[in-house]
Amino acid sequence: MSTKKIRKTHTGEFKAEALKLADKIGVAATARELKLHESQLYNWRTAAEKKSTTSERESELAAEVARFEFILEHQHLFSLIRMVAVLQVSRSGYYAWRKSGLTPSPKAVKRAERDVLIKEAFDDSKARNGSRRIQVDLAEHGKKPDIKTILNSMERQGLVAKAARKFKVTTDSKHSLPVAPNLLEQDFSATGPNQKWVGDITYLMTSEGWLYLAVIIDLYSRAVIGWSMSNRMTADLVCSALNMALFRRGFPKSVIVHSDRGSQYCSHDYRDLIKKHQLVQSMSRKGNCWDNAVAESFFHSLKVEALQDEPIMDRETMRQHVFEYIEVDYNKTRRHSALGYLSPENFELKNSA
């Protein structure tokens, strides 16, 4: 009986990191390492360049219009010369925009005004203050944006405090969302692929703050079959990792998908994804890290083997290091004692023959 070959589908995040690796070691070498066709990488690069050019121009235009709208809204308070200098736009561009007959949206005007205030507060502190201190500074002048608004503005403007406070972050298990039963019960064995998957989140310190990594691991081979990275620890992060695993494994059904009780894994979005693809959700007991020991072990290996001796990195460099460790080193070449000292990929190849 012939077995239908599953067509590999790669997520946008995978493609982006693969292209970065190709820029670093070359297209041919990357194709060999990731078992891709060189033509795939060239096609991905062409599509990414086209998308980047379009999105960059759209972002530039949106930012410019927001500044023009701010100038129009505040022309009775400040001189035009000062505003175009502060907002770094041209007077001729502003006049051309006015002639076009476009009207400013109240939301855009308010956001541009708020961005200017936050940037001024940040600069006044000599780039030392983070969102909490900026919030206090603005409150003293009668402005009261919430922390989330300030954080979004700072991220949009690329404002990073020199001495951002370091703090430990873990998944939030203090919530009232539904919790799944512990079906795994520390039994990390599997007789075949796609029987049991485990997922978890870790945080990686960078020079720009935390970078969060979510993974999905198949307990049969210990392969990382899904991963995603983000500056924020949200339900989208864990959903993206699970989606990658589903794409790579050809959307199997009835897989036990185990995690801790973090709010991301209890979220409506994640539970809906589990239900949509007919998976079975399982969760660790409260406060018991041993119930998800395989994922914890992977994170330990990542940090010790790939990151511990490296100088502190920015987020982009950290993403590339993590991508290379998972896709080139860990899955393909790193030997596991639990697998008879085979790599996850070689273990699956050997046992599928």
Q: 265 and 199 in contact (C-beta within 8 Å)?
A: yes
Which class is domain 170-352?
Answer: alpha beta
Q: 283 and 180 in contact (C-beta within 8 Å)?
A: yes
For residue 223, the surrounding DSSP H or E stretch is strand 223-230
Q: What's the pLDDT tens digit per position in 142-169?
A: 887 888 888 888 887 778 775 443 334 3
The sign of the dihedral angle between the CA atoms of 33, 34, 35, 41 is negative
Domain assignments of the chain as residue spans, ordered by start: 170-352
Q: Enumerate residue ranges in the chain where pLDDT < 70.
A: 1-8, 51-61, 76, 100-106, 108-109, 125-126, 128-129, 162-178, 287, 353
**Rounded alpha-carbon distances, angstroms, from residue 138 to 78, 134, 141, 157:** 20, 6, 5, 17
Which residue is it, tokens 């409260």?
A: 286
Token digits of residue 255: 């897989």
Q: What's the pLDDT tens digit per position in 220-246?
A: 999 999 999 999 999 999 999 999 999
Q: What is the pLDDT of residue 287?
A: 65
Tell me which residue of 226, 227, 231, 224 sits closest to 205, measured CA to CA.
Answer: 231
Q: What is the pLDDT of residue 338?
A: 84
Q: What is the pLDDT of residue 168?
A: 41
**Rounded alpha-carbon distances, angstroms, from residue 353 to 347, 349, 350:** 10, 6, 6
The distance from CA 31 to its chain's CA centroid, rounded to whole angstroms, is: 24
Q: 228 and 318 in contact (C-beta within 8 Å)?
A: no
Q: What is the pLDDT of residue 103?
A: 56
Q: What is the pLDDT of residue 132?
A: 78
Q: What is the pLDDT of residue 163?
A: 44
Q: What is the pLDDT of residue 166?
A: 39
14 residue type, one letter: F
d(CA 181, CA 252): 21
Q: What is the pLDDT of residue 241?
A: 97
